[in-house]
Structure 1
Amino acid sequence: MNIPDSTEYIDIANGLAEKVAGRVEEIDEGRRIPADLAAEMADAGLFRLLVPKSLGGGEVPHPELLEIVRIFARVDASTAWCVNQNNITATDSVRMPVETAREIWGDQRAAITNGPPSRDTIAVPTKNGYRVTGHWDFSSGSSHGTWLVARGPVEGRPGEIRTSLVPKVDVPMVDTWDVNGLRGTASLSFDLDDHFVPENHTYVDSMATYEDGPLYVTPKVPMYSIGFAALAVELARACLDDAIGVATKKSQHGVSSPMIDRPTVHRQIGKNEVTLRAADSYLRSTASKMWDAAVNRGEVELAIRAEIRMASTYAIRQAVKVVDAAYEICGAGAIFKRNAVQRRYQDIHVIVQQFQGRPTNFETAGRYYLGLDTIGSL
């Protein structure tokens, strides 16, 4: 199989993003990436970008994945969200038993989807495997996913969190995804009830990896955070560009001067350009530190992970402010579903409600800088 290099993947993403742009209403209304479009993305390798080449993946450097996420975010946040989440989850291909990884990624259209477990989730050890019971939400990309990731504690093994891999065809999805933003992510739920999972379809994150490249020494949590923050920044960029376009052409009812001639509009645009560029600059520099550490030192130290948590949360929350300002500038026309600003407004307000956008993340980072135990994930 001919595997593109990272530069070719950027070109592929640009081409497919054009197709996504022409189908954003279909994605939003259908609450999923259309099957034919998802299949084309899978065939192009866009759901195996971080899978090692030894398993037929792209193994692209993380900065290239971020650029691909940004490319899709400029046209549709839901598609970008799936690209980020599905690919980072796929780095577990080097933690699971190699025969299982080959089973999964031997399918060119493979994609694994994950979500957080409910409190009552449990895996009970049994002969040759586990009996898994529980409920999982937010399984983004479930419409095109082929395997489900079910994480949870193990009975009788305090502190152990084990991941079980279950073919999606074996599990009925539960459609709880009745939301206003990120509608196209198909972030459905699923239940397992005393479901048998073979031992070789399970693993724990602490298992030794059989690949030691920089992608596989980088923890998933900071990679998720940076990717979703990059998505938020690009969404806000598109929204602000839309607002600038409106301001150059529009006059508001009851106001004598065109918007382009009003100092208040000048100030709004200028302040929000600074806000967005500053947040993006901090995010990019922190992402660069993370990758440099992984490449040159073979680990991402806690200090860098704390900074990633701050930079990602800050970028997401600043992006919300920029989108809100752009929405205001666009006026009454922004309230209609046909307006891209309305969709982006809904998307960003779903993004900020997720774990990566919570203001309590600053507390986690603050505790680190005060020399205290961190409460929360870095």
Structure 2
Amino acid sequence: MRATVGLDLVERARALAPLIAGEADAIERQRRLTEQVVSALIDNGLYRALLPQNLGGAEAAPEIFMQMLEEIAKADASVAWCLGQNSVCAMIAAWLDPDTAHEIFNTSPGILAWGAIAHEARAVDGGYRVTARWDFASGSRQASWLGAHVRIIEADGTPRKSADGSPEVRTILFPATSATLHDVWEAIGLAGTGTDSYSVENLFVPERFSAFRDVTSALREKGPLYKLGTSASYSLGFAAVSLGVARATLDAAIALARGKHQSLQVKAMRDNNAVQGLIGRTEGNWRAARVYLYATADTMWRDLTATGEFSDAHRTAVRLASTWTIHQSAAVVDAAYHMAGATAVFRSNPFERRFRDMHAIAQQLQARDTHFEDVGRTILFS
């Protein structure tokens, strides 16, 4: 598998949009990505956007990753969400020994998925043993490997502590065939992500298939991307997905306004001053959100590549910009949806699904209102 680099990833994503849009109904109906879409993403190297170059990945800068997801999200939010999730999961390769990472990511299809932090793994000779169930594993239906973030319990039952005294959390990895997938994802939006649950029973995980994810001192790869870490990469990626959904919804509203005549009105919607004003304001809101997100990412990335440090100030800036962008994108989608009137409620038109997808995104971890509290606290006490 060859590496794809730079804007080539964005161009490939844009070229795949017609295929993805054509598969969107099937994705929604089946509640998982279709084989055609997964194969196209693999063949075009998009799952490898954040994989180290030493493993044949692109190791792409955040801006490229964000643009790639934005283009995919314009065609279908579920595909973009899964691609974002699986791509960031692949960053853990930077914490694994090269042979282990090669085994996971260079054996087809080389896709990793995981869910939320939960449960414990017991330390045993040569590794860990675990019985547990985890939720919210977006992209798990196309994954060949699964992971879990677990607290480590020593053989005598005492919690293992990190250097700062907090519970030690490791990410363990295991073949998807070792787990049982539970079909539970019946959701209002992002229906095609297959964000199901998975469980293992008395599973042994060798030590080499575990890592201290997002711990800089444990990195084996030295590229600046991995000092950014997975948490901030999720924030930027999912904010970009929200921008793509909002852009597609607003474009659909603009196209509708150019031709639709409202009930009992002689003029088209585009001749209505209220519609014109709403389009202008909503367009401005979308552009402002996008510029803010990308400018924040660019400033952070330039400093990170120059200094080798992902500072607390940049961590706060990324969190604020990502959360605010998701909320602004939801507002753009709401405005476009209401502008479309009754047209928007029919599944045959390009509003209803995007409305549901956007509000599913806005309910996720990356969009929590508590992020604003965290940022505000940092500002007030700094």
Q: TM-score range by the shorter chain?
A: over 0.9
Query: CA-atom RMSD, angstroms?
Result: 1.6
User: Which residue of 136, 139, 142 corresponds with 1:138?
Assistant: 136
Aligned positions of 1:283-322 closer than 5 A:
283-322=293-332
The answer to whether the 8 A contact 2:2-2:57 is kept is no
3-state SS of the aligned residue for 2:218? coil
In the TM superposition, what is the alpha-carbon distance from 1:363 to its structure 2 partner?
Answer: 0.3
Q: Does 1:122 align with 2:130?
A: no
Residues 22 and 223 (structure 1), Cα distance of their counterparts in 2 relative to 1, 3 Å cut = same
The answer to whether the 8 A contact 2:62-2:236 is kept is no
Aligned positions of 1:232-271 closer than 5 A:
232-255=242-265, 257-271=267-281
Compare 97-106 and 141-150 and name the one that shifted more.
97-106
Aligned positions of 1:132-211 closer than 5 A:
132-155=130-153, 156-158=159-161, 159-205=167-213, 206=215, 208-211=218-221
The answer to whether the 8 A contact 1:43-1:108 is kept is no
Deviations 1:329-352 (A, max 9, x none): 111111111212111001000000
**Partner amino acid, structure 2, of 1:303:** A
**TM-score of the aligned structures, taking structure 1 as reference length:** 0.94
The answer to whether the 8 A contact 2:97-2:220 is kept is no
Deviations 1:213-243 (A, max 9, x none): 1111112111111111111112111111111
Distance 1:193 1:290 in 2: 42
In the TM superposition, what is the alpha-carbon distance from 1:255 to its structure 2 partner?
Answer: 4.3
3-state SS of the aligned residue for 1:28? helix
Q: Which residue of 1 aligns with 2:54?
A: 54
Distance 1:84 1:315 in 2: 16
In the TM superposition, what is the alpha-carbon distance from 1:110 to its structure 2 partner?
Answer: 0.6
In the TM superposition, what is the alpha-carbon distance from 1:193 to its structure 2 partner?
Answer: 2.8
Distance 2:4 2:244 in 1: 25
3-state SS of the aligned residue for 1:308? helix
In the TM superposition, what is the alpha-carbon distance from 1:256 to its structure 2 partner?
Answer: 5.4
Q: Which residue of 2 aligns with 1:17?
A: 17
Q: Which residue of 2 aligns with 1:376?
A: none
Residues 130 and 371 (structure 1), Cα distance of their counterparts in 2 relative to 1, 3 Å cut = same
User: Which residue of 333, 350, 372 corresponds with 2:360?
Assistant: 350
**Partner amino acid, structure 2, of 1:86:** N
Number of residue-to-residue matches in the alignment: 370
3-state SS of the aligned residue for 2:116? coil
The answer to whether the 8 A contact 1:313-1:357 is kept is yes
Q: Which residue of 2 aligns with 1:112?
A: 112
Distance 1:132 1:85 in 2: 24
**Partner amino acid, structure 2, of 1:279:** A
User: Which residue of 359, 368, 371 corresponds with 1:361?
Assistant: 371
Distance 1:16 1:260 in 2: 31
Deviations 1:172-204 (A, max 9, x none): 201110012111111111112332111111111
User: Which residue of 328, 332, 341 corresponds with 2:338?
Assistant: 328
3-state SS of the aligned residue for 2:48? coil
3-state SS of the aligned residue for 1:60? coil
In the TM superposition, what is the alpha-carbon distance from 1:355 to its structure 2 partner?
Answer: 0.8
Distance 1:256 1:45 in 2: 50
Distance 2:50 2:285 in 1: 31
Distance 1:370 1:194 in 2: 47
Residues 130 and 2 (structure 1), Cα distance of their counterparts in 2 relative to 1, 3 Å cut = closer
Deviations 1:73-121 (A, max 9, x none): 1111111111211111111101123321111122142111011034xx1
Q: Does 1:224 align with 2:234?
A: yes
Compare 188-197 and 298-307 and name the one that shifted more.
188-197
The answer to whether the 8 A contact 2:4-2:49 is kept is no
Q: Which residue of 2 aligns with 1:35?
A: 35
3-state SS of the aligned residue for 1:150? strand
Identity of aligned residues (%): 38
**Partner amino acid, structure 1, of 2:80:** A
**Partner amino acid, structure 1, of 2:259:** K
Compare 341-350 and 201-210 and name the one that shifted more.
201-210
Distance 1:7 1:282 in 2: 21
3-state SS of the aligned residue for 1:178? coil
Distance 1:370 1:94 in 2: 35
In the TM superposition, what is the alpha-carbon distance from 1:14 to its structure 2 partner?
Answer: 2.2
Compare 297-306 and 51-60 and name the one that shifted more.
51-60
The answer to whether the 8 A contact 1:117-1:135 is kept is no
Distance 1:10 1:282 in 2: 20
Q: Which residue of 2 aligns with 1:7?
A: 7
Distance 2:354 2:37 in 1: 21
**Partner amino acid, structure 2, of 1:190:** Y
Distance 2:281 2:58 in 1: 40
3-state SS of the aligned residue for 1:299? coil
Q: Which residue of 2 aligns with 1:375?
A: none
Q: Which residue of 2 aligns with 1:78?
A: 78
Q: Which residue of 1 aligns with 2:164?
A: none
Distance 2:54 2:204 in 1: 29
**Partner amino acid, structure 1, of 2:296:** T
Compare 1-10 and 93-102 and name the one that shifted more.
1-10
Gaps of 5+ in 1: 373-378
Distance 1:2 1:163 in 2: 27
